Structures are given as structure tokens and as C-alpha cells.
Structure 1
């Protein structure tokens, strides 16, 4: 009995010691763990520095790219080999083309008469012939032939002796001194009363003095029977005459 009690007492002591060691270990663990956490918190509080990072500045957007002002190439659409328009649209297009052609055509709404005149369709061509003064009936666009006079027209004729209109007495003295001579031809304009109204030298004698003397005396002395027309009525006309200037011997 004594041996068994001793053995039980030894086991109890061992158990008590183990329990004590276990509590010590647990206490140590708790103490060391709490101390570590506290120390870690202190270290983090001491060593941690709150640094405020500056907000990044917004960069301005890049300028838009300059696009050259060039017209895009024309898009060529090949013609369709098939006409997909409805029939009514095709007829409308044809009518419009006809109307456009009539506007462009300068002879649209015109008509050509038998004499070649082009007039409006609403106008009348009128007669196709006309009667000339001589009684001939010809196409309206033709020219009438000249009318034959009932009497033969006549030019002016001298009244009296035309040789007395300019004489040797009319010889300019200077032309005599310089021995100027020659033939002067003049054309005289005569009115319906038979009086001269103008004188033109058509052939010079080579001397201005002699030419001037010819016209001067013709205008002063010449008188005519007036010219007559195809009806026998007096009319204006012209008369031509030559004067020979020759130094007397």
C-alpha cells in the first residue's frame, strides 16, 4: 500500500509540474505575443510617414492636326448597264428632254414661208407675189426689173454758144507772163432750172491759174436747158466741157 501511495504521489507531482509548466508557457506566449504586437504598432506609428502625393497636372490636349484643304477625288460611278427606272419615270424623262430640245432650237415655234422667210407659226406668210411698177408680177422676195422710161432721159444742154463762156480775154496775166498753157476739163453740176451749182476739175491743164479761171468763168456765164427724166420732167444733171488755153501769137 505504501508503495502504491508513493507511486501515485509521484505521478501527481509530475502532473502538477506539467500543468504549471503549461500555464507558464501559455502565459509567456500571451505576454510575448502582446508585447510583440504592441511593439510592432509603436514601430509602425513611429516609422510610418504620411506623404501626400501631389495631384498630377492635367496636360493640355494636343492641337488638332492640320488637314490640307484638298478636295477629295471625284467618285466615278460607272453607268449601270441596266435601266432600273420604272416605265412612268422613263416617259417623264423623255418628255422633259423633248421640252428642253424645243427651248434650245431657235426655230422652235417657227415656220418657213415659200419665199424663204422664217416667221412664227401663228403668223401668216402673206402673199407670195408682188406687182412691180412696170406691171410685172414676180415673187415677193425678188427684185423688180428697172422700169423702161416713157421718154428718153436727156442731160443738160448749153443754152447759147458754149464757146463764149471762156475766151482768150479771160487768160490770167500771170499765166501769160509765165507762158502757162494747156487743156482744162471740168464737170458742171446743173439744177432743174438750168443754172450751174458746182464745178469740178476732172482734167488739169497743169496750171492752177488756168484751172481756176475755167471754173470761175463757167460758173459766171454758163446757162443750160435742164436735164429731163424718163417722164420728161426737168431734173438735175451734169455737163462736161473742156477749155484749151493757148498763148496767142
Structure 2
């Protein structure tokens, strides 16, 4: 295209024949030259991804030299601890020996025999004065022990007359007046026995 324009310009300049110029002009076919559309602009490439910044490791620092100092050890505190007392379990006391068996009771071979009149041991003259004035009567049941000498011991009331002074008078007079020939065992030895009686208290006849 640029060459055609150059030839035309040269022909006009040198004065070529007009026919030639006309003919050349006829031969030239005019056509509209369309400018080529420029190619679309290429998008710029995306920026490269950011590279992670490398973290520089911290500089290696050598530790300071260890300075050894002589430190006195802490004082050792001692506490006196009393030794534990051993637990002493008391032993059970041995059981006492069984008492010896009691000797068999002597067999009664002969009972005690009263001496004298038993009716004279307690009489109407032994009536307590206050009970006599109050005209109190009753029956005192009493019992007593006869020792190996035939005397009365440990007189006790087994059934009361209802008046303590009458009961006391019965035991008091029997203990003072009663006498026995002691009982004997089968070997002829005197042994202790017991006896009992009922004393009737009634008002004396006038």
C-alpha cells in the first residue's frame, strides 16, 4: 500500500503523461482501507503471590558463664522426738483357784434337847408394859440357832404379831433363858442346829 502512494507521487512529480496517470488512476481500484482493530490489551498478569517473609531466627546468644558461689548449706534443725511408748496390753489376771470343796455337812445323829420347861422361857410377866396398857395381843413367830454349847444365837422374827415390841420381847427372853443339850453328829461331836417357836401374847386373866 505504501508502494502505490510512492509511485503516484513520483508520476506527478516527473510529469508523466496524463493518460498514463489516468490509466493508472483507473487501474487503481479504490477501496476503503479499514484499520485493523488493535488486539485487546492483554490484562497484566496478576502480581506474584507475596512470598512469606522468612522470619530470621533470633541470634544465638550464648548463656552467661555459670558463676559458682560457695553458699553455706542451711542449718539442719533437729527436733528431739520422744520415742513412742510401746502399747502394753495388760494380761488378764489368772483366774483365782477354785475354793476347796466344802466338807460335807455333818449328818445329824441326835437333835438338840431343851433343858427345863420351855413354857418358862416367855411368860405373861414378860408382856411389854406399853402393849399391856394398850391391850395389844398377837402371835410372834421366831426362829434361832443353837450353838455347840447349847446356847441360843441369832434369834429372828419369822412372822410378826403386828407389834414390834411384842416380837422383840419374844426373841429377847428366849435368847436369855433357853438352854439346850447340843445336837450330835454320827461321830458324837456337837454340831450347830436351829429351832423355832410361836409365842402367843394374850392379856392376862384378872
Q: TM-score normalized by structure 2? A: 0.47
More helix by share: 1
Give the structure with higher Rg (CA): 2
Greater RCO, CA 8 A, separation 6+: 2
